[in-house]
Amino acid sequence: MKTKLIYAFIAISLFACKEDDENEPVTPIIPNEEEVITTVKYTLTPVMGGTAKVFQFKDLDGDGGNAPVITTDSIDANVTYSGTLEFLNELETPADSITNEVLEEGDEHQVFFQVTAGDYIISYADVDKNGNPLGLSTTFESRTMGGSLTVILRHKPDKAATGVSGGDITNAGGETDIEVVFPINVR
């Protein structure tokens, strides 16, 4: 008998709550709304002076629709560059700098660089508020081969995981905000 009364109370409570919930508007809570990134720009400036080289990805219509436009400058062999990375949302006017958000939430972001079929050394030149690598500023040392460079912005990586502070994404976890592959031409 006691069990039946408990079930009856639960059923009445559920129906009462359901009726109230249907009349109230539901507002979703988004703790960290995903950023829209339409443009990635990686600028390499020779440390010893010279013309800056720009690697740029633009996808102004977002996913689907037109293919992204990727442009790259040829880099010089055996040169050390100072690299700066920019993330933009150019669907807004003026363009929204996602770079500023990444910088402000640096402890929740890290940029990873992966080289395929090339000989380059990319080192972090900036850190977040906890002293962990961020990746908006880098040192880029070119060698003599072409290949490709993948730039990955990761949200909420485990920066204490093995290899992550050295740029290894294998144990980073988190979610990828954007991943872009740039072909590299060396002259």
Report the predicted TM-score, pTM, of the whole model to 2 decimal places.
Answer: 0.81
Q: Are 135 and 87 in contact (CB under 8 A)?
A: no
Tens digit of pLDDT for each residue in 91-111? 999 999 999 999 999 999 999
Q: Is the pLDDT of residue 186 over 50?
A: yes
15-29, 85-99, 102-116, 149-163: the lowest-pLDDT one: 15-29
> How many CB atoms sit inside 10 A of residue 102's CB?
25
If pLDDT is split at 50, 70 and 90, which confidence band does 7 have? very low
21-25, 73-77, 78-82: the lowest-pLDDT one: 21-25
For residue 176, the cross-strand partners are: 154
Ramachandran angles phi, psi of 125, nearest 5° = -120, 10
Residue 11, SS3 per DSSP:
helix
Of 112, 48, 56, whose CA–CA distance to 76 is shortest? 48
If pLDDT is split at 50, 70 and 90, which confidence band does 24 have? low
Tens digit of pLDDT for each residue in 116-144? 987 899 999 999 999 999 999 999 999 87
Predicted local confidence at residue 131, as pLDDT: 97
Which helix or strand (DSSP H or E) is residue 156 part of?
none
Q: CA-CA distances (angstroms) from residue 95 to 26, 37, 147?
A: 31, 10, 31
